Structure 1
Amino acid sequence: MKQKFIAAAVQMVSGTDVAANLATAARLVAEAAAAGARFVVLPEYFCLMGRQDGDKVAISEEAGQGPMQAALATMARDNKLWLAAGTIPLRCPEPGKVFNSTLVFDPAGQQVARYDKIHLFGYTGNGERYCESDSIQAGSSPVKVDIGLAEVACGICYDLRFPELFRQLAPFDVMILPAAFTATTGEAHWEVLLRARAIENQCYVIASGQGGTHENGRKTHGQSMIIDPWGRILAQQALGEGVVLAEIDPALLHSVRSGLPALAHRVL
């Protein structure tokens, strides 16, 4: 059986300055490492919450090269930890669009996995409008990665509403969800959906969110949290930047799955 380890969900209130956001991320990752974290998850759009959709296209990088990816590799290597690097914009074939991608780095700073967000958020109401498909090309492949400490299923923000994505990947030990949930939808659905995914997949969930009012006027829900396989919230933070820490215990995973073998009872 694998050993216990400390995981961290980093919460940010990212702005429009990429360099400043990278510096904040580096500081918070180092803080998590100092607290004993061996696996750290950054939030969606940690590198930029732009004033308009085109801003992320303008800073996008080719996969495998660029200052943002180099900075993330350095964070993982300098702190000797596994890093799920929130999301960054990577170039895609369609003009004017990018992939919204989570990159996973090992403690040597090598990229070991990439997940491109599959489900693209769209919402209109309460004076708000969001349409990610205007500037993002959807990914097509679910991703599960073995980070040595645990098997990790990748999701990003709006993916949370599509349990069939994670069912394709089950079983796994940990589900990650970098996010920038809106204040409106987050207040209504964030916690209940995260706990449902943990319960039905009998896994830990590490949800790292944007949490506050951003320079561009957008308000995000925050409430980054780590949830255990029984659906219990182990740690969380409401708003503002910070680090949420909790222990991932393989013995608890085994206990939950052996006592209530729901995954083994799956029929469909």
Structure 2
Amino acid sequence: MSELRTTLVQADLRWEEIDTNCQLLDEWLQDITASDLIVLPEMFATGFTMAPERMAETMEESRAVAWMQRTAESRDAVVTGSVAIRENGHHFNRLIWARPDGSMVTYDKRHLFRMGEENDHYAAGNQRCIVELNGFRILLTVCYDLRFPVWLRNVDNDYDLLLCVANWPSARRQPWRTLLQARAIENLCYVIGVNRVGDDPRGLNYSGDSMLIDYRGEALIDEAPWRAFARTGVINRPGLEDFRDKFPAHMDADRFNLVVD
């Protein structure tokens, strides 16, 4: 296929209320009738909690993961977003890629936000993850990952779409918007960034600024900051391939080997 219909869900999350957030997401998705991919914010079930000892669940127990699987099946669409997961004595901020057939792919957030003490409560992942949907190769990332271009480098056009789910405070909304556009331009790819709105008990406010950006850095979806919404946009492969053919900057990119501890 040459098109991908993608729904960005900019949600106002309820703090550490897993069941409530899943119910609210059901309501926000009511008017979405046709989508291939539904993208939720980082830690959509709890907010950016630093209490995984209390809030994290195993993959088998997770109410949020089970809701994602049910939603993917009922809507015949991939559902993705991150949740707090407990596994083998560690906690992970894990992005779930839930397919309609019940199968899943996972990516554990590599760059943990030390200014929010995330590195004191969660273990870092060490593997990049690229999935495929409708002929698009998609790099999965979470929030703070966006600041690290080496981790996201699109060597030889390995991917076509960079997806980033976030809880990115409004105090840093300009860097969020700028980095999303920069990653699209430098990697010759589409970019989806989905952030939350509202406030959390730590005194942080979130403006959303969720965006769908093309390979030139131009926004295809960029609206309704500060409030919840669900919007669907369509991206296509022919436009991307034509641009890469006419502007093959990837052929002049520096070569390197990424060493992961």
TM-score with structure 2 length normalisation? 0.90
Q: Is the 8 A contact 1:171 1:263 kept in 2?
A: no
Q: Could you tell me which residue of structure 1 aligns to residue 74 of structure 2? A: 78
Alignment match of 1:206 (pick from 183, 192, 202)? 192
> How far has the Cα of 1:68 moved from its partner?
1.8
Pick closer, same or farther for the CA change 1:31–1:149 going to 2, 3 Å.
farther
Give the aligned length: 252
* 1:8-19 superposed matches below 5 A: 8-16=7-15, 17-19=17-19
Q: Is the 8 A contact 1:30 1:79 kept in 2?
A: no
> How far has the Cα of 1:147 moved from its partner?
2.3
Report the AA paired with residue 26 of structure 1.
D
Identity of aligned residues (%): 26
Alignment match of 2:167 (pick from 180, 183, 190)? 180
Q: In 2, Cα distance between the equivalents of 1:221 and 1:57?
A: 28
Q: Could you tell me which residue of structure 2 aligns to residue 127 of structure 1? A: none
Q: Could you tell me which residue of structure 2 aligns to residue 46 of structure 1? A: 44
Report the AA paired with residue 252 of structure 1.
G
Q: In 1, Cα distance between the equivalents of 2:132 and 2:242?
A: 21
Q: Could you tell me which residue of structure 1 aligns to residue 228 of structure 2? A: 241
Q: Greater CA deviation, 59-68 or 201-210?
A: 59-68
1:59 and 2:51 matched: no
Partner SS for 1:87: strand
Q: Could you tell me which residue of structure 1 aligns to residue 85 of structure 2? A: 90
Report the AA paired with residue 27 of structure 2.
R
Q: Is the 8 A contact 2:209 2:226 kept in 1?
A: yes
Q: Greater CA deviation, 98-107 or 237-246?
A: 237-246
Report the AA paired with residue 107 of structure 1.
P
Structure 2 unaligned blocks of 5 or more:
256-261
Q: Is the 8 A contact 1:155 1:178 kept in 2?
A: yes
Q: Is the 8 A contact 1:29 1:40 kept in 2?
A: no
CA deviation vs aligned residue, 1:141-200 (integer Å, no higher than 9, x gap): 1111112341110110000000111116642111110000011122x3011100000111
Q: Could you tell me which residue of structure 2 aligns to residue 126 of structure 1? A: none
Pick closer, same or farther for the CA change 1:231–1:225 going to 2, 3 Å.
same
Q: In 2, Cα distance between the equivalents of 1:89 and 1:134?
A: 14
Q: Could you tell me which residue of structure 2 aligns to residue 37 of structure 1? A: 35
Q: Is the 8 A contact 1:12 1:211 kept in 2?
A: yes
Pick closer, same or farther for the CA change 1:57–1:110 going to 2, 3 Å.
same
Report the AA paired with residue 22 of structure 2.
L
Partner SS for 2:65: helix
Structure 1 unaligned blocks of 5 or more:
124-129
Q: Could you tell me which residue of structure 2 aligns to residue 150 of structure 1? A: 136
> How far has the Cα of 1:240 moved from its partner?
1.7
Q: Could you tell me which residue of structure 2 aligns to residue 133 of structure 1? A: 119
Partner SS for 1:230: coil
CA deviation vs aligned residue, 1:7-62 (integer Å, no higher than 9, x gap): 11111111122111011223334433x1x221111100110126x622x3312122
Q: In 2, Cα distance between the equivalents of 1:256 and 1:184?
A: 34
